[in-house]
Amino acid sequence: MPIKVLGASEENSMPLIEVRGLCKNYQVFKRQKGFLNNIKTLFNREYETVEAVKDVNFSLNEGELVGYVGSNGAGKSTTIKMLCGILVPSSGEVNVNGVVPHKNRKQNAKNIGVVFGQRSQLNWDLPTEDTFELYKRMYKIEDAPYKRNVELFTELLGMQDFIRRPVRQLSLGQKMRAEIAISLLHDPKILYLDEPTIGLDVDVKDRIRKFARALRDEKKTTIILTTHDMADIDEICERIIMIDKGQILVDKPLDEYKHEFNNEYYIEVAFADKASVPETIEPRFEVVARMDNRLVCKFLRDDVPVREAMLYFSSAFDIVDVNIRNAKLDEIVRAFYNR
């Protein structure tokens, strides 16, 4: 039974990126158990078809900030590689700013910037500043826009202290900031960010997230972000596309998604002392954490109104503080996939 896409976003007549019926299949060698069976495969190999991407449809307009979300093997990176022109679709259509990526890779490269969190574009022995010069020549960027972009990105990404240092001397966070800057020197209309904050500390993550939104506001750049860090999605993106087993499950504004699929609340209760913490509570509340004199519980808004939850704990127990919050985006996404 086909999976229904929930709430696909509205499109205008001239989307910057348009994907229709996109599919990508791979032929995978079927390994057999046993020594004799492995010998047989030398003469007669069997293959099976793996559908990495199945009938994917979406369109993006200029200046959109989109989170492309899914588990490992869901089809995220395969989709991005077809948008970049690295992979050729098995079927379907891809159009990026009027260009078919795999047919016009050079022209498509002028329209896009790409940052893969675990692959580097930097020259190990050159200072970051010299690597920028190398990309200036490669993309044939004129002096004025090049100078303007280097100054802008250096300021927004805080690269003043390390732009003249060799790449091999940079920290992981400094390298990632330089990677993002390099991918944008030629003023691409689209930026693909694949796990850009993986392994980075809190301060660098925050700087990159603020930079992404500032870039959209300054240059109207369309950004597609793939990541397992839902805080990246929550702080950068305005739209979420969820993919699983190669098929899109959800495509809608992020705020709308959170409102529609967030049926959970979390209540943290501080009791007078550790001895006051109850061993059991009403079954409509699920205990998710115990910390000294504190208890964190989860409940469904359809089962327990917030007012009733507050009243239950305040009247039944000796408490000193209580706090109720909505589920975080990673909790909402996890519950969605579990359902």
Q: Which amino acid is at 119?
A: R
Nearest alpha carbon to residue 66 among 249, 224, 188, 212: 224
Q: Which two tokens stand for residue 172?
A: 């992981």
12 in a domain, yes or no? no
Q: Which amino acid is at 308?
A: E
In this structure, are 48 and 147 located in the same domain?
Answer: yes
Local mean pLDDT, 10-residue blocks, the chain (339 residues): 45 78 84 68 73 93 94 89 93 93 92 83 87 91 93 90 90 90 93 86 88 91 92 93 93 91 90 88 92 91 89 90 89 82
In this structure, are 110 and 230 located in the same domain?
Answer: yes
217 in a domain, yes or no? yes
In this structure, are 316 and 231 located in the same domain?
Answer: no
| pLDDT value for 251 | 94
Among the three residues 211, 226, 259, which one is the final residue of a domain in this structure? 259
In this structure, are 44 and 175 located in the same domain?
Answer: yes
Nearest alpha carbon to residue 85 among 52, 65, 63, 112: 112
The CATH number linked to 47 is 3.40.50.300
176 in a domain, yes or no? yes
In this structure, are 122 and 195 located in the same domain?
Answer: yes
Return the bridge partners of 67, or none.
225, 240
In this structure, are 274 and 250 located in the same domain?
Answer: no
The CATH number linked to 292 is 3.30.70
Distance of CA 22 to the CA centre of its chain: 20
**Any idea which residue has 């972000």 for tokens?**
225
DSSP for residue 165: S
In this structure, are 153 and 40 located in the same domain?
Answer: yes
Instruction: Give residue 312's domain range.
Output: 263-338
38 in a domain, yes or no? yes
| pLDDT value for 42 | 66
Q: Is the dihedral of CA 157, 145, 82, 333 positive or negative?
A: positive
Q: Is 252 strand, coil or helix? A: strand
Domain count, the chain: 2
Helix (H), strand (E) counts: the chain: 11, 13
Among the three residues 203, 224, 259, which one is the final residue of a domain in this structure? 259
| pLDDT value for 37 | 67
Return the bridge partners of 326, or none.
265
| pLDDT value for 65 | 95
In this structure, are 280 and 156 located in the same domain?
Answer: no
119 in a domain, yes or no? yes
Cα separation of 224 and 243, whole Å? 14
In angstroms, what CA-CA distances link 166 with 79, 132, 160, 201, 301? 34, 12, 13, 21, 54
In this structure, are 98 and 45 located in the same domain?
Answer: yes
Q: Is 6 strand, coil or helix? A: strand
Cα separation of 64 and 46, whole Å? 44
User: Is the pTM value of this prediction over 0.75?
Assistant: yes
| pLDDT value for 102 | 93
Q: Is 129 within 8 Å of 182 (Cβ atoms)?
A: no
In this structure, are 232 and 282 located in the same domain?
Answer: no
